[in-house]
Amino acid sequence: MTDLTSLTLAEARKGLADKTFTSLELTDAHLSAIEAARVLNAFVMETPDQARAMAREADGKIAKGDAGPLAGIPLGIKDLFATKGVRTTACSKILGNFVPTYESTVTSQLWRDGAVMLGKLNNDEFAMGSSNETSCFGPVGNPWRRDGSNATLVPGGSSGGSASAVAALLCMGATATDTGGSIRQPAAFTATVGIKPTYGRCSRWGIVAFASSLDQAGPIARSVRDAAMLLRSMAGHDPKDTTSVDIPVPDYEAAIGKSVKGMKIGIPREYRLDGMPAEIEKLWQSGADWLRSAGAELVEVSLPHTKYALPAYYIVAPAEASSNLARYDGVRYGLREQGRNIIELYENTRAEGFGAEVKRRVMIGTYVLSAGYYDAYYLRAQKVRTLIKKDFEDCFARGVDAILTPATPSAAFGIGEKGGADPVEMYLNDIFTVTVNMAGLPGIAVPAGKDAQGLPLGLQLIGRPFDEETLFSLGEVIEQAAGRFVPERWW
Amino acid sequence: MSTATHKLLKGATGDWEMVIGMEIHAQVTSNAKLFSGASTAFGGEPNSHVSLVDAAMPGMLPVINEECVRQAVRTGLGLNAKINLRSVFDRKNYFYPDSPQGYQISQYKSPVVGEGEVLVELDGGRSVTIGIERLHLEQDAGKLLHDRSPTMSNVDLNRCGVALMEIVSKPDIRDAEQAKAYVTKLRSILRYLGTCDGDMEKGSLRADVNVSVRKPGGPLGTRCEIKNMNSINFIGQAIEYEARRQIEIIEDGGEIEQETRLYDPNKGETRSMRSKEEAHDYRYFPDPDLLPLEFSQAFVDELKAELPELPDQKKTRFVADFGLSAYDASVLVAERESAVFYETVLDRLANRARDGKMAANWVINELFGRLNKEGRDIADSPVNAEQLAAIIDLIGEGTISGKIAKDLFEIVWQEGGDPRALVESRGMKQVTDLSAIEKVVDDIIAANPDKAAQVKDKPQSLGWFVGQVMKASGGKANPQSVNELLKAKLGV
């Protein structure tokens, strides 16, 4: 029998339906893979007992012909999603051993559809980071290494655990979240597929909040089809999240293989950065060529406010974060560091519980919302946000169906290599992805090639609001042309 | 604005005028909290009405309770205010254990209700119109308990997240009397609307009072805010004290510092709570978890159509329909329960047009008088509206006199029972049979020949005879008949 962990989700679904193997076998294969890959530090909590129990239940349902769309499929869950009875920490010391009494809407929909939980995945603390180095559980290793090098690279972030685990074949798919690129950048760094759906497509209920107006859940998967299958289960209106949108969730898988002939694809000129590596430029060109070969029309478009997106993002996101993280105060749950009075208790708890990057963003956020600075920073950033949104609206109004860009300005880098002296160096990782969050649009990252050192690179497609289907159709064209990339196992 | 004369305070340098504005926090009457499904019931075990949202667990999101929105709109309509079809919830950020989220969800720049006004009646038939600046919805905080442990404080989150309406007046109030009357009137309107129970003892209605002083008509002075007042009388006392304190400082050459103060009712004084420098920077910004609150004009119109009759309208109707004095009508409509009682009496009367005014007198003088004397509430009045209506019918139709009616009222108060049946069984009917009265009149004239002789010279002594006849008849003789008979027989 072939190694069950190397199957795509779609292949595994068929194997389960055909009774070629059971969910228990599939789950056990992944549990063994997880055990063997602990050096990657992708999982911060393994739940083998729960996984096997869920697998048995799925097998029972498959036998009865009562299987949900994801019956028996073993998944990893980013530690930002509250999981009932299973420790949920957002990879922050401040949550300590917090065990929720509730299940996030997104994960409960996955379990409703029969999926199996293997455990909780590492991420940057409170999803703040682009390398998964800010986690209180330590950095995650990227299964990809440079040709001829043993140096461990970052998997990107904040959903670094999700990307690493999917790329290393530890789980068939994973939940992730994206506030400024946290699904798409790690997907690009690990040759996996990641989609951030339209803001409001997935419920945020039960997901530890970073920046409420930007946060959105999505899957990281081994193929475009797998991502489509996962998103269908994750998406949907939730009355408990009033920012989730009440429109039907289409059968995303049906978009796979649909012709892209005649589609108009925009190439934004502002995304052509000075000093951009030639191989990124080349990759972008390849992507355009593949889509043109499939019958799409390529047009140059302008998104004039792009250069203001990153600075504006680093005002809006920290502002919301500074308020969202106020609840971690040592009073009701999580870490408490005593003090002589309530102010000291707050200070000691938050000084001890938050890592450096989280503290930095809380400080920035507090500053930009302060009296006398609000208008100059927060209000202005919101105006910029409106302009960025309008850039995209104008572009789509001219008949553009989707926009093609590189996913990241570089391939994965080494642990400790970036951002040590200047945090902005790290922030620049999200230069191509933050605009999408600022505009609330869907964006997908699809593996498209490798750089000269053998590291994967990805392309990003940006779509109209709630038109994830077009992204799946186009993404699959790139996937078919570029081929599948699997890292060589070294762990 | 104000047309009524108001009280000025005498200082060493002349008269001073008070300028007062109020922020009233009124707890919205609703079963569930503003953004969570938890119960709003009062008096539960600590932390027994706390949802995951109230406790600010990770990943929890607020969902607006539409009934609270309806209540706010109803209140806005009751205050003749502008209803904003689009408003925004903001976060007011501060750290305190009674606020688990680390912020209060409130409305800062775009409140659900805009400008309105309230007509406030004062003594002596005067009245003043107080402007409303705005009304917005916000979350209440929890409560810290400091008496459960010698080393720690505990927190009870039962109230946390309960909906409050903050009703902000314009600085139109000019003295303590107006301030008290304003709170009284606002409370009455809220209770009529059923949007707040107005129970100040339970904290359902609290006021922050902003006070400043100036020379009449002069520029505004610096204000101080007296926080968290939960008694109308204390509000009056606090204003008087605070205004005098400020006048003294200014007249001594000092300056008023803008600050937040607390009133100590035991000492009868206000004292500093925190200065302007210590004031929080709340870092307000729109709550990204909530979409702007939007509703249609049709939604507002529907609520408007269902609005109950409010005290001002009721008062006008009572004066027009039953000829009540403006004062009596005000007394009846001040409390919703009183008005309901009076209207129930009206409903039961055989002849409303004839006896409506008499009914008002009976409700105000006999019933309220008696209730006040015994410190009882109208809700547990021993005489109900049906019984009172029967008594008034008996007077109106001439079956008993007003005097007998008072005795009958006393019997019903003490023993209960059907007034009409009591009049029968206890022989309290007024005697209008002339022959029966004539016999008594003749007997009394015969027994007092001297007095009868004097009557012609001193007609005022006729009253003595009337009294004697009434006494002999046990009060049941019709006083008018007695009078006429005596006059005829004594030749006056």
Whether residue B319 is contained in a domain is answered as yes
Please write the tens of the pLDDT for every residue from A228-243: 999 999 999 999 999 9
* B55 reaches A (C-beta below 8 A): yes
Last residue of a domain, one of B253, B278, B304: B304
Whether residue A308 is contained in a domain is answered as no
Q: Which domain holds residue B348?
A: 309-425
Residues B374, B480: one domain? no
Last residue of a domain, one of B304, B336, B361: B304
Instruction: List for chain B the helix, strand, coil content (%; round to 5).
Output: 40, 20, 40
Q: Is the pLDDT of residue A471 over 50?
A: yes
Q: How far apart are CA B8 and CA B215, in angstroms?
A: 9
* A366 reaches B (C-beta below 8 A): yes
Whether residue A168 is contained in a domain is answered as yes
Nearest to A327 among B56, B63, B289 (CB): B56
Number of domains, chain B: 3
Residues B60, B141: one domain? yes
Whether residue B164 is contained in a domain is answered as yes
Q: Give me the mean pLDDT over the A394-400 stretch.
A: 98
Whether residue A398 is contained in a domain is answered as no
What is the DSSP annotation of A255-320?
Answer: GTT---TT-EEEEEGGG--TT--HHHHHHHHHHHHHHHHTTPEEEEE--TTGGGHHHHHHHHHHHH
Place of tokens 């008002």: B360
| pLDDT the model gives residue A419 | 82
Residues B340, B377: one domain? yes
Residues B298, B391: one domain? no
* A348 reaches B (C-beta below 8 A): no
Last residue of a domain, one of B278, B304, B330: B304
Whether residue B64 is contained in a domain is answered as yes
Of B271, B71, B63, B299, the residue nearest B164 (C-alpha):
B71
The complex's ipTM works out to 0.96
Residues B467, B440: one domain? yes
Contact A242 B155 (CB under 8 A): no
Quick check: is A108 catalytic? no
Q: Do β-strands A74-78 and A116-121 pair in parallel, antiparallel, or remain unpaired?
A: parallel
| pLDDT the model gives residue B1 | 42
Whether residue B390 is contained in a domain is answered as yes
Q: How far apart are CA B403 and CA A332, in angstroms?
A: 68
Residues 6+ apart with CB under 8 A from A327: B56, B58, B100, B101, B102
Contact A101 B52 (CB under 8 A): yes
Residues B293, B408: one domain? no
Contact B283 A346 (CB under 8 A): no
Q: How far apart are CA A51 and CA B6, in angstroms?
A: 77
Q: How far apart are CA A387 and CA A305, in angstroms?
A: 7
Give the CA angle between residues B293, B294, B297 to the nearest 5°: 140
Residue A387: exposure state from Cβ atoms within 10 A (0-12, 13-18, ≥19): middle
Contact B58 A88 (CB under 8 A): yes
Whether residue B1 is contained in a domain is answered as no
Residues B184, B260: one domain? yes
Please state at what angle helix B326-334 crosses helix B336-348, rounded to 10 degrees.
110
Distance of residue B362 Cα from the nearest chain A Cα, in angstroms: 55
Q: Which domain holds residue A96?
A: 4-260+443-482
Please state at what angle helix A48-63 crosses helix A9-17, rounded to 10 degrees.
50
Residues B440, B457: one domain? yes
Residues B137, B223: one domain? yes
Residues B91, B123: one domain? yes
* B307 reaches A (C-beta below 8 A): no
What is the CATH number for A126? Answer: 3.90.1300.10
Q: Which of B57, B149, B155 is most worth mutating to test chain A (most A CB atoms within 10 A of its CB)? A: B57
Judging contacts by C-beta atoms under 8 Å, the chain A residues touching residue B289 are: 209, 212, 242-243
Residues B278, B328: one domain? no
Q: How far apart are CA A105 and CA A19, in angstroms?
A: 30
Whether residue A66 is contained in a domain is answered as yes
| pLDDT the model gives residue B124 | 84
**Which uninterrupted H or E stretch holds A463?**
strand A456-463
Quick check: is A223 catalytic? no
User: What is the full per-residue pLDDT of chain B (492 aa) written as tens digits?
Assistant: 445 579 999 999 999 999 999 999 999 999 999 999 999 998 889 999 999 999 999 999 999 999 999 999 999 999 999 999 999 999 999 999 999 999 999 999 999 999 999 999 998 889 999 999 999 999 999 999 998 888 889 999 999 999 999 999 999 999 999 999 999 999 999 999 999 999 999 999 999 999 999 999 899 999 999 999 999 999 999 999 999 999 999 999 999 999 999 999 999 999 998 887 777 899 999 999 999 999 999 999 999 999 999 999 999 999 999 999 999 999 999 999 999 999 999 999 999 999 999 999 999 999 999 999 999 999 999 999 999 999 999 999 988 888 889 999 999 999 999 999 999 888 888 776 777 788 888 888 888 888 888 887 887 788 888 888 888 887 778 777 788 888 888 877
| C-alpha of A94 from chain center | 23
Whether residue B3 is contained in a domain is answered as no
Contact A366 B289 (CB under 8 A): no
Q: How far apart are CA B163 and CA B451, in angstroms?
A: 76
* B95 reaches A (C-beta below 8 A): yes
Whether residue B137 is contained in a domain is answered as yes
| pLDDT the model gives residue B43 | 83
Residues B459, B419: one domain? no
Whether residue A247 is contained in a domain is answered as yes
Cα torsion through B55, B57, B62, B67, rounded to 10:
-30
Number of domains, chain A: 1
Please write the tens of the pLDDT for every residue from A254-288: 999 999 999 999 999 999 988 888 999 999 999 99
